[in-house]
A and B are shown apart, each in its own frame.
Chain A
Amino acid sequence: MKKAEQITCLFWLVLAGALCAGSIRLKVGTPSEPGSGFLPFGTGFLLGILALVHLVQITSGKDEKEEPLLGEVRWKRGAWVVASLLTYALLLPLLGYLLTTFFFMAVLFSLYDRRNWWVAGGASLLVIAVTYLVFHHWLKVQFPAGFFRIG
């Protein structure tokens, strides 16, 4: 945990540096004529100082318990959710709402129990039917039809 906290502080420091540099390029201005970079520069400066204080606190403090960030958790399930979301965002314009959502929901429904694909498929069909009716017909959300023009 200590290492992860230190890395986070370094991230804040890099962000603060980048923000200050970007603000100078944007023109910081003066208090009477503040430029676009005025507040971003102040924020970056403050972020840098506080990140430094935090880094010193963490480094000099005692680490109560060395617990890894992802420890013994079932992080693979989370990774599946993230991968499914990213794939969904990429495939949605290509395959359309109905087809993409069917596969997306089937993957998510079978995340806890991979054996029951039929149930997951059935549940996905039901969800698509209901959501398509509610969002597309009732709330007039425009879903992409994709290459196959389904939906």
Chain B
Amino acid sequence: MMDLLNLILLGFQSALQPMNLFYCFLGVLLGTLIGVLPGIGPVATISILLPITFKIPPISAIIMLAGIYYGAQYGGSTTSILLNIPGEATTVITCLDGYQMAKQGRAGPALGIAAIGSFIAGTVSLLGLTFLALPFSEVAVVFGPPEYFSLMILALVILAFLAHGSMLKAVLMALFGLILTYVGTDNITGSQRFTFGFVELSDGFDLVPLVMGLFGISEVLLNVEQNLSQDVLKTRIKNLLPTRQDWAKSAWPILRGTVLGFFLGILPGAGPVISSFVSYTVEKRISRYPEKFGTGVIEGVAAPESANNASAQGAFIPLLTLGIPPNVTMAILFGALMIHGLAPGPLLMKDHPDFFWGVVTSMYLGNFLLVFLNLPLIPLWVRVLKVPYPILFPLIVLFCVVGAYSLNNSASDILVMTGFGIAGYLLKKLRYEGAPLVMAFVLGPMLELNLRRSLIVSDGSFTIFLTRPISAAILIFALVILSLSFLPNPRRKKPEAEEII
């Protein structure tokens, strides 16, 4: 216990350095901003800013990128409540009751409970992260190549299972992501694979132009096709602090949302989107007045907003302790850590305690900052919402271009990014999701390395994955999930955002 306390103090010492505090503030500010703005999310923003972070110390970079991620969960609720347009996929469900509350003149309490619930959930989730990080990393130390291979298979299976559309399409995308990782030099033999004689391809594709294209440029291409209308509800935002009655109704949904979100956040493949949907469904099911959900009940805002924040911060556990990113944003953060020369996994905490605990404790500070950014500055965010897309999108494109170029000071990275942008646009049109591709792209090299190592150790026997208990348990779990997808269950169908709104 004393050890943990010392480590936390070490973390605060690091996080409270003026430079780190500044980047924490910048991260949560940017996160809130992009959460508020529809059409750009944390995945695109982190990808765009990733090359810029090469110029700053690793801890400051990761503190800022993490701040963008959890900050976006706060900011996204503003557009859901005031515009009925979710700023993020994680706040889609908040539209249902949040917008109705705003229409009834209760935008203030809706925004207030969203921010306060997010703060409580984020902080509780961070406590979970603080106390579970050590036991998790101790378990992870005994993991060998078969366990890691099985865990990565589980992550990809869950991601495909929870895909919004067709599971088959999600698997195809994951395979495509794997294929992209084969381009370049083989890590074990050192031979060139699928480079077709191009020297530029010998290091393989970079993560940055790939995610910038898939999430940044393709979003722009989709958005410029339509005239985005941004009609902010003309309502006076007053009484941000919820009433005693609002508190009484929201306390348990916040708590349930927090617990659900935290555990779903840890689960590979799940994440804040699923957490918010599940917590809303749970609240509706156990409510004494389920028929009122969708008409402006505060529980319908409190629960999902708490769940998505708890989930966002819980997701750091598998990333930092096991080295397995549970969702696509974490996959990009994984890439960021690797680029900064830090290998996420059980040894990160041991080898770089100031970094690990500095990032964790910065999130406590970030949560505080977010409450102050969200509640008093809501009128400012409402004004930001009025920035027209014709002004916004050229800036997004320019950030992508500069980000891609600055990676290797090479214009060919802009071409690669544009190529992935076009591919991402077409794939979205055909209802293929980008998340499984990026997850597989990040996990691919480790997946291959651990598979080949396991087979070499076992002299070519695939039974190694079943004879080791942890690996076998993980694979059985993956198999159960996979078989669930073949069961005819109409309730498993996940609603599309358009269906809900």
Which residues of chain B have C-beta atoms less than 8 A from A51's C-beta? 172
Residues of A within 8 A of B176 (CB): 12, 15, 47
Tell me if A35 counts as interface (CB < 8 A to partner B).
yes
Which of B220, B429, B462 is within 8 Å of A81, CB to CB? B220
Distance of A86 from chain B, by nearest CB (Å): 6
| Closest beta carbon of chain A to B453's beta carbon, Å | 10
B52 interface hit (Cβ, 8 Å): yes
In the assembled complex, the CB of B40 is this many whole angstroms from the nearest CB of chain A, namely 15
CB of B132, distance to nearest CB on chain A (Å): 33
The answer to whether B182 and A39 touch across the interface, beta carbons within 8 angstroms, is yes
B455, A32: Cβ atoms under 8 Å?
A: yes
Q: Does B153 contact A (CB under 8 A)?
A: no
A85 to chain B, nearest CB (A): 4
Task: State the CA gap A32–B462 with chains docked (Å).
Answer: 10
Interface centre among A69, A90, A101, A135 (most CB of B within 10 A): A135
Enumerate chain B residues within 8 angstroms of A66, measured Cβ to Cβ.
none
Known contacts A12-B172, A109-B390, A111-B224; is-contact A34 B401 (Cβ 8 Å):
no
Q: How far is the CB of A98 from chain B (nearest CB, A)?
A: 13
Q: Is the CB of A35 within 8 A of B220?
A: no
Contact status A34-B418, CB under 8 Å: no
Question: Are B460 and A81 in contact, with the CB atoms below 8 A?
Answer: no
* Interface flag for A82 (CB, 8 Å): yes
Size of the B side of the interface (Cβ < 8 Å), in residues, is: 58
- List of B residues within 8 angstroms of A92 by Cβ: 405, 411, 414
Query: Are A77 and B429 in contact, with the CB atoms below 8 A?
Result: no
- CB-CB under 8 A from A109, the residues of chain B are 390-391, 394
B70 to chain A, nearest CB (A): 24
Q: A74 contacts which of B171, B226, B460 (Cβ < 8 Å)? A: B226
| Residue B398 is within 8 A (CB to CB) of chain A in the complex | yes
Number of interface residues of A (CB under 8 A): 62
- What separation, in Å, do the CA atoms of A44 and B411 have in the docked complex? 31
- Write out the residue numbers on chain B whose beta carbons fall within 8 Å of the beta carbon of A35: 189
Residue from the set B191, B225, B391, B447 with the largest chain A CB neighbour count within 10 Å: B225
Cα of A39 to Cα of B176 in the assembled complex, Å: 13
- Partner of B397 from the list A33, A108, A143 (CB cut-off 8 Å) is A108
Q: Which A residues are in CB contact (< 8 Å) with B398? A: 101, 104-105, 108, 127, 131
Q: Is A5's CB within 8 Å of the partner chain B? A: yes
Contacts of B455 in A (CB 8 A): 31-32, 34
- Complex interface: chain A residues within 8 A of B489 (CB): none
Q: Contact: A78 with B224, CB < 8 Å?
A: yes
Q: Which residues of B contact A5 (CB under 8 A)?
A: 430
Q: 14 pairs across A/B with beta carbons < 8 Å?
A: A12-B172, A26-B193, A32-B460, A37-B193, A39-B178, A40-B194, A43-B175, A50-B175, A81-B220, A92-B405, A92-B414, A104-B401, A112-B390, A127-B395
Q: Which residues of A contact B (CB under 8 A)?
A: 4-5, 8, 12, 15, 19, 22, 26, 30-40, 43-44, 46-47, 50-51, 53-54, 57, 69-70, 73-75, 77-78, 81-82, 85-86, 88-90, 92-93, 101, 104-105, 108-109, 111-113, 123, 127, 131, 135, 139-144
